[in-house]
Amino acid sequence: MEFKHTSVLLKETIDNLNIRPDGIYVDGTLGGAGHASEVCRQLSATGRFFGIDQDAAAIRAAGERLAPFGEKVTIIRSNYCHMVRELQQRGVSGVDGIVLDLGVSSYQLDEADRGFTYRFDAPLDMRMDQRQEKTAGDIVNEYTESELYRVIRDYGEDQFARNIAKHICIARQKEPIRTTGELVEIIKHAIPMKIRAKGGHPAKKTFQALRIELNQELTVLEESLDDMIGFLNDGGRICIITFHSLEDRIVKSIFRKNENPCICPPGFPVCTCGREPMGKVITRKPILPSEEEMEENPRSKSAKLRVFERRK
């Protein structure tokens, strides 16, 4: 299957990067290289681009798409949480721009065997990096009821999290839950009929929660964002596209903390904590897709772009 993914908020992201033709830029979620190819087009012969992704299919697709840009492009198979280390190992001490598009690619959602979606009956996989041994099936079959409840409540924000966790545990006592189709049926039975009739797909929130837990998506973002901001050169920008409130909350909070890190009591006449601002938040409110983009690409509807600029 061909790796297809429509880049969300493409123009807005590229415009906000303030690309310098001779600069160094990184896409930490390379995917099909939609954002990356636009960045590379604006680089001169002395500019450099690094693309990072943990998905082998993305690496292959991006390699083909970025091949015309030659030696200015370096592609790395890794998680973006290792960005700073990976670039330092390649002699890079700072970058002028970073892009993160935190959505699941259309390819991952549409390829049934990956198990990311409730639309196809497939093995319960959901691994972003298929070198990882643990799968969504391991979570569903091995987590305790209270652990499942926590995951579905916190990462799926589902009001029926407790009942879904309970139904999963009852079902797996008979035999292991192996496929997305089996899990969907269990979730349906855990949610009242009247709610199922008027809401979205009953399994959507649970599938999101399992994917986030398996791939540690929020932990990776929370633990690496400060380092990425610190790796920006003076005037460099980081552009992050999120797709649900949990991610957006983390980005908003960390951006704000880097702009105003002071922890002195509000009444203090002068700052004594010595914490210096790392830069400024460019987007007081997130940039949202246009009506036209949402019509053309329904998966863009929940996207939000936030931008931070480093100032030394």
Q: What angle do CA 279, 240, 208 make, to 5 degrees?
A: 140
Mean pLDDT, residues 160-187: 98
Mean pLDDT, residues 175-189: 97
Report pLDDT for 92: 98
Chain centroid to CA 145:
27
CATH 1.10.3720.10 fits 10-107+219-310, yes or no: no
- pLDDT confidence tier of residue 159, bands split at 50, 70 and 90: very high
Q: Which residues of 192-223 are buried (b: 16+ CB within 10 A; e: fewer)?
A: eeeeeeeeeebbebbbbbbbbbbbebbebbbe
pLDDT above 70: percentage of residues in the chain: 98
User: In this predicted model, which residue has the larger pLDDT, 103 or 294?
Assistant: 294
Q: Is 90 exceeded by the pLDDT of residue 144?
A: yes
CB 135 within 8 A of CB 124: yes
Q: What CATH class is the domain 113-215?
A: mainly alpha
User: In this predicted model, which residue has the larger pLDDT, 200 or 155?
Assistant: 155
- For residue range 49-94, list pLDDT tens digits in order: 999 999 999 999 999 999 999 999 999 999 999 999 999 999 999 9
- For residue range 224-246, list pLDDT tens digits in order: 999 999 999 999 999 999 999 99
Residue 127 neighbours by CB under 8 Å, 6+ apart = 114, 134, 135, 136, 214, 215
Report pLDDT for 271: 86
pTM, whole model, 2 decimals?
0.93
Report pLDDT for 312: 86
Report pLDDT for 1: 52
Mean pLDDT, residues 6-25: 96
- For residue range 261-272, list pLDDT tens digits in order: 999 998 888 888
Q: Where exactly are the structural domains of the chain? A: 10-107+219-310, 113-215
